[in-house]
Amino acid sequence: MRRGRGPQRHHQGAARRRRSRTHRGRNRAPQGLHRGRHRHDHLRVRGARHGPGHGRRPAPSGRRPPAAGTRGTAGGRGRRRGHRRHRHRWRRRGHRRPPRCGGAEEHHRAAGVSANARAHLRERQPKEHTMIEDVLVVEGVAHDYNFLPENCVDPAFGRAIGEHMYRQHQKFGGPGYAIEKSLYLNHGAGAEAIGRSILAESQSDIIIYHETPIYGHFRDGGSRLSSGLTMRELWPNRVLVYGAVSPLRPGAVDRVDELVDEHRVNALKLYPIDLVEGRVTSLDMSDPEVCYPVFERAVERGLKVVGIHKALPVGPGPAHALRIDDIEGAAAAFPDLTFEVVHGGLAFVEETAMLMECAPNVVVNLEVTSALARTAPRRFAEAIGAFLAVPGGAERVIWGTGVIAAHPRPLIEAFWDLDTPRDLIEERGVEPLTLDAKKNILGRNFLRLHGIDEAELRATIAGDEFDTTELAQPWGGKTESATSVVA
């Protein structure tokens, strides 16, 4: 038999529970944004670290603040309800000490704001386009993927790749920057729309189009060369092209000649895995029998750069092929070539930084890694800090988003606004991302790599249709609704 507490005690207990529920409601960060006296009022969470004193009121003169672990006033009267519960919230989250906030993103994360609310807050912040007007931005990688069944060796597998990449496309760009799904999967964007997403809808000034040699999955290689050539025909002063070669296939050396003579490419692009005669085959960039003849012909034909896909899987295949170890031998054997590690920092960060230190003719391209500046800024700051710590590292990192992997504008803005978290600098020795380093990464480094004079380039593109500070709507207004975007 359950013992009763009497009507009075029951009434007191109910009142106490109501107060507790009310208190919990006050301390829960709302999911949406609301108007308030301060634009961040909805983010203020009791117990969060908002600066000196962490939200506590200063003790009046002549009085000492209560010692840690005590109740304050006698009998606990006057003590804020729930204080003990929130005081060490950071300890329950696994931190050894209260987290330090490095900028608005880290501040909101420490305050317990949900990922969705942080994403909405980022989208609500005013965009200061004038901040990067003096920077010539080079989009280091652009693609035009074709997932139509007739272009896929295995239509079901090709469709699965397309669906996966579209989910990433939604996540990377965020609300308002995802193209309509039907256009993405059915090759409905096209070369001109992709080019305009870069030149008219973002702060980018130059396009570097990459053909891909994924012939085992796509009949045209995935990102076909003709799209890059179309962009260059439309905007000859603003487009450069990387041509793809698969050394595992017959005629690879002749393919280099074809790319130079017929298509006037500016560099080569290689992948570490190919599907040859139905078998997944990995490619060792230091193989003197397979890869070196291609590199030798590239040098003979006056090419100076070879982009090599790394770190990011492309369907099933051996994981070791995505590592960067095999580039070291090729870089040593061909000092006149610069090897561009594409997707650098997405994985194998320490190994990539060590390779940069050992091989001065190795640079890093941030394609897809750049999306972390928006979706995981702390992880991005750690990766970029490792590269900046290498001697001359600030001049050996190249910007790239991988359009159509993501719309370039939100990634550029996230990168430009990023500050290296203070605790990473002070406690882990991470090299900070300075303003000068940002300017180098966004454009100067690529121009230097390809021997392009910035002043001459600016004079060449001055006055054309993209020489304006006004940005057009993402994807010409053909975007998915914000509610359908993956958070």
Q: CB under 8 Å to 471, separation ≥6 — which residues?
A: 129, 200, 201, 202, 203, 409
Helix (H, G, I), strand (E, B), or coil: what is residue 334?
A: coil
Q: How many residues does the chain have?
A: 487
pLDDT for residue 106: 61
pLDDT for residue 225: 98
Give the distance, in angstroms, between the CA of residue 74 and the centroid of all CA atoms in the same chain.
53
pLDDT for residue 287: 97
Element of type H or E holding 340: strand 338-342
pLDDT for residue 38: 40
Residue 337, burial from CB neighbour count under 10 angstroms (0-12, 13-18, 19+): buried
pLDDT digits (tens, 9 = 90+) for 3-34: 344 444 444 555 555 544 444 444 443 343 33
> Which domains does the chain show, CATH number per domain?
136-484 (3.20.20.140)
pTM, rounded to two decimals? 0.74
Element of type H or E holding 279: strand 279-282
Q: Cα 384–121–170 angle (5° rounding)?
A: 65
Asked if residue 126 lies in contact with residue 387, where contact means CB atoms within 8 angstroms, the answer is no
What gap in Å lies between CA 353 and CA 402, rounded to an integer? 22
299-332 CB burial, b ≥16 within 10 A, e <16? eeeebebbbbbbbeebbebeeebbbbebbbbbbe
pLDDT for residue 419: 95
Identify the segments of the chain with pLDDT beneath 70.
1-110, 113-131, 133, 481-487
pLDDT for residue 7: 44
pLDDT digits (tens, 9 = 90+) for 70-107: 444 444 444 444 444 444 443 444 444 444 444 555 66
